[in-house]
Structure 1
Amino acid sequence: MTEEKVQKQATKEYGPYEFKLEGLEDGYRVTFKGNKEEIKSQRRVGASFINFLRQAEKAGWPIPFPFRLLLKFWSEYNGKGEKVG
Protein backbone atom coordinates (compact mmCIF):
# COMPACT_ATOMS: atom_id res chain seq x y z
CA MET A 1 0.00 0.00 0.00
CA THR A 2 1.40 3.38 -0.96
CA GLU A 3 1.67 6.30 1.41
CA GLU A 4 -1.05 8.88 0.64
CA LYS A 5 -0.13 12.55 0.74
CA VAL A 6 -2.56 14.67 2.76
CA GLN A 7 -2.91 18.13 1.21
CA LYS A 8 -5.50 19.61 3.62
CA GLN A 9 -6.98 18.42 6.88
CA ALA A 10 -9.75 19.55 9.22
CA THR A 11 -10.58 18.00 12.59
CA LYS A 12 -13.67 18.78 14.68
CA GLU A 13 -14.83 17.34 17.99
CA TYR A 14 -18.57 17.10 18.57
CA GLY A 15 -19.47 15.70 21.97
CA PRO A 16 -17.74 12.33 22.43
CA TYR A 17 -16.97 12.05 18.69
CA GLU A 18 -14.08 13.30 16.60
CA PHE A 19 -14.50 13.88 12.86
CA LYS A 20 -11.58 14.31 10.51
CA LEU A 21 -11.70 15.23 6.82
CA GLU A 22 -8.49 14.85 4.83
CA GLY A 23 -7.98 16.10 1.29
CA LEU A 24 -5.70 13.65 -0.53
CA GLU A 25 -4.02 13.98 -3.91
CA ASP A 26 -6.68 11.81 -5.56
CA GLY A 27 -9.74 12.15 -3.32
CA TYR A 28 -10.94 12.56 0.26
CA ARG A 29 -10.90 10.49 3.42
CA VAL A 30 -13.40 10.91 6.27
CA THR A 31 -12.64 9.42 9.69
CA PHE A 32 -15.01 9.16 12.68
CA LYS A 33 -13.70 8.28 16.14
CA GLY A 34 -15.61 7.72 19.36
CA ASN A 35 -16.39 5.32 22.17
CA LYS A 36 -15.62 1.82 20.88
CA GLU A 37 -18.52 0.06 22.64
CA GLU A 38 -21.07 2.67 21.55
CA ILE A 39 -19.87 2.45 17.95
CA LYS A 40 -20.20 -1.37 18.04
CA SER A 41 -23.77 -0.98 19.29
CA GLN A 42 -24.59 1.52 16.52
CA ARG A 43 -23.08 -0.81 13.92
CA ARG A 44 -25.39 -3.62 15.10
CA VAL A 45 -28.40 -1.32 14.76
CA GLY A 46 -27.22 -0.24 11.29
CA ALA A 47 -26.66 -3.85 10.22
CA SER A 48 -30.18 -4.74 11.41
CA PHE A 49 -31.62 -1.92 9.30
CA ILE A 50 -29.65 -3.07 6.24
CA ASN A 51 -30.96 -6.62 6.82
CA PHE A 52 -34.51 -5.25 6.96
CA LEU A 53 -33.94 -3.43 3.64
CA ARG A 54 -32.65 -6.65 2.04
CA GLN A 55 -35.71 -8.60 3.19
CA ALA A 56 -38.05 -5.83 2.00
CA GLU A 57 -36.34 -5.84 -1.39
CA LYS A 58 -36.70 -9.64 -1.66
CA ALA A 59 -40.39 -9.33 -0.77
CA GLY A 60 -40.85 -6.87 -3.63
CA TRP A 61 -41.67 -3.84 -1.49
CA PRO A 62 -40.85 -0.48 -3.09
CA ILE A 63 -37.66 0.89 -1.50
CA PRO A 64 -37.19 4.70 -1.61
CA PHE A 65 -34.17 5.93 -3.60
CA PRO A 66 -31.82 6.90 -0.73
CA PHE A 67 -32.29 3.50 0.89
CA ARG A 68 -31.73 1.64 -2.41
CA LEU A 69 -28.47 3.57 -2.78
CA LEU A 70 -27.48 2.70 0.78
CA LEU A 71 -28.24 -0.98 0.12
CA LYS A 72 -26.15 -0.94 -3.06
CA PHE A 73 -23.12 0.62 -1.34
CA TRP A 74 -23.43 -1.74 1.63
CA SER A 75 -23.49 -4.77 -0.69
CA GLU A 76 -20.36 -3.55 -2.47
CA TYR A 77 -18.65 -2.82 0.88
CA ASN A 78 -19.38 -6.32 2.21
CA GLY A 79 -19.00 -8.33 -0.99
CA LYS A 80 -16.60 -6.94 -3.53
CA GLY A 81 -14.86 -4.32 -1.41
CA GLU A 82 -11.11 -4.33 -1.05
CA LYS A 83 -9.94 -5.85 2.23
CA VAL A 84 -7.62 -3.53 4.17
CA GLY A 85 -5.28 -4.60 6.94
Structure 2
Amino acid sequence: MSEAKVQKEAAEEFGSYEVKFEGLEDGYRVTVRGDKEKVKSQRRVGASFINFLRQVEKAGWPIPFPFRLLLKFWGNYNTKGVKGA
Protein backbone atom coordinates (compact mmCIF):
# COMPACT_ATOMS: atom_id res chain seq x y z
CA MET A 1 0.00 0.00 0.00
CA SER A 2 1.51 3.34 -1.02
CA GLU A 3 1.74 6.12 1.53
CA ALA A 4 -0.67 8.98 0.79
CA LYS A 5 0.77 12.48 0.61
CA VAL A 6 -0.60 14.70 3.39
CA GLN A 7 -1.25 18.30 2.33
CA LYS A 8 -2.86 19.63 5.53
CA GLU A 9 -3.17 18.21 9.01
CA ALA A 10 -4.93 19.09 12.27
CA ALA A 11 -5.01 17.25 15.59
CA GLU A 12 -7.11 17.92 18.67
CA GLU A 13 -7.63 16.19 22.01
CA PHE A 14 -11.12 15.67 23.45
CA GLY A 15 -10.83 14.26 26.95
CA SER A 16 -9.11 10.89 26.64
CA TYR A 17 -9.44 10.83 22.82
CA GLU A 18 -7.13 12.26 20.17
CA VAL A 19 -8.66 13.11 16.78
CA LYS A 20 -6.42 13.69 13.77
CA PHE A 21 -7.80 15.04 10.48
CA GLU A 22 -5.59 14.89 7.40
CA GLY A 23 -6.20 16.42 3.97
CA LEU A 24 -4.66 14.12 1.35
CA GLU A 25 -4.10 14.63 -2.38
CA ASP A 26 -7.13 12.50 -3.24
CA GLY A 27 -9.37 12.72 -0.16
CA TYR A 28 -9.41 12.92 3.62
CA ARG A 29 -8.41 10.67 6.51
CA VAL A 30 -9.77 10.84 10.07
CA THR A 31 -7.98 8.97 12.86
CA VAL A 32 -9.39 8.62 16.39
CA ARG A 33 -7.21 7.27 19.20
CA GLY A 34 -8.16 6.56 22.79
CA ASP A 35 -8.15 4.04 25.62
CA LYS A 36 -7.99 0.60 23.97
CA GLU A 37 -10.34 -1.15 26.44
CA LYS A 38 -12.92 1.65 26.27
CA VAL A 39 -12.86 1.57 22.46
CA LYS A 40 -13.38 -2.24 22.48
CA SER A 41 -16.34 -1.84 24.81
CA GLN A 42 -17.90 0.87 22.63
CA ARG A 43 -17.40 -1.27 19.51
CA ARG A 44 -19.31 -4.12 21.18
CA VAL A 45 -22.17 -1.77 22.03
CA GLY A 46 -22.17 -0.39 18.46
CA ALA A 47 -22.16 -3.88 16.96
CA SER A 48 -25.10 -4.87 19.17
CA PHE A 49 -27.06 -1.84 17.96
CA ILE A 50 -26.31 -2.69 14.31
CA ASN A 51 -27.51 -6.26 14.89
CA PHE A 52 -30.69 -4.88 16.48
CA LEU A 53 -31.29 -2.67 13.42
CA ARG A 54 -30.82 -5.68 11.12
CA GLN A 55 -33.43 -7.65 13.07
CA VAL A 56 -35.86 -4.71 12.94
CA GLU A 57 -35.33 -4.49 9.16
CA LYS A 58 -35.96 -8.24 8.76
CA ALA A 59 -39.15 -7.92 10.79
CA GLY A 60 -40.37 -5.28 8.34
CA TRP A 61 -40.68 -2.46 10.85
CA PRO A 62 -40.02 1.08 9.56
CA ILE A 63 -36.54 2.37 10.39
CA PRO A 64 -36.01 6.16 10.69
CA PHE A 65 -33.76 7.74 8.04
CA PRO A 66 -30.54 8.26 10.04
CA PHE A 67 -30.58 4.63 11.16
CA ARG A 68 -31.24 3.34 7.63
CA LEU A 69 -28.23 5.37 6.48
CA LEU A 70 -26.12 3.89 9.28
CA LEU A 71 -27.21 0.36 8.36
CA LYS A 72 -26.38 0.96 4.68
CA PHE A 73 -22.97 2.41 5.53
CA TRP A 74 -22.17 -0.50 7.85
CA GLY A 75 -23.15 -3.02 5.16
CA ASN A 76 -20.85 -1.34 2.64
CA TYR A 77 -18.05 -1.08 5.20
CA ASN A 78 -18.19 -4.79 6.03
CA THR A 79 -18.36 -6.01 2.42
CA LYS A 80 -15.35 -4.01 1.19
CA GLY A 81 -12.91 -5.52 3.69
CA VAL A 82 -9.41 -4.36 4.50
CA LYS A 83 -7.12 -3.43 1.62
CA GLY A 84 -3.75 -5.08 1.59
CA ALA A 85 -4.64 -7.67 4.24
Same fold (TM over 0.5): yes
Counterpart of 2:3 in structure 1 is 3
Deviations 1:6-48 (A, max 9, x none): 0000000011000000000011000000000000000000000
Instruction: Work out the number of aligned pairs and report it.
Output: 84
Output the CA distance in 2 between the equivalents of 1:14 and 1:70.
24
Counterpart of 2:70 in structure 1 is 70
CA RMSD of aligned residues (A): 0.9
Output the CA distance in 1 between the equivalents of 2:45 and 2:62.
22
Output the CA distance in 2 between the equivalents of 1:82 and 1:55.
23
Counterpart of 2:50 in structure 1 is 50
Structure 1, unpaired ranges of 5+? none
Q: Identical aligned pairs, as a percentage?
A: 73
Structure 2, unpaired ranges of 5+? none
Structure 1 residue ranges, 4+ long, deviating more than 2 angstroms after superposition: none
Counterpart of 1:83 in structure 2 is 82
Counterpart of 1:23 in structure 2 is 23
* Counterpart code for 1:83: V
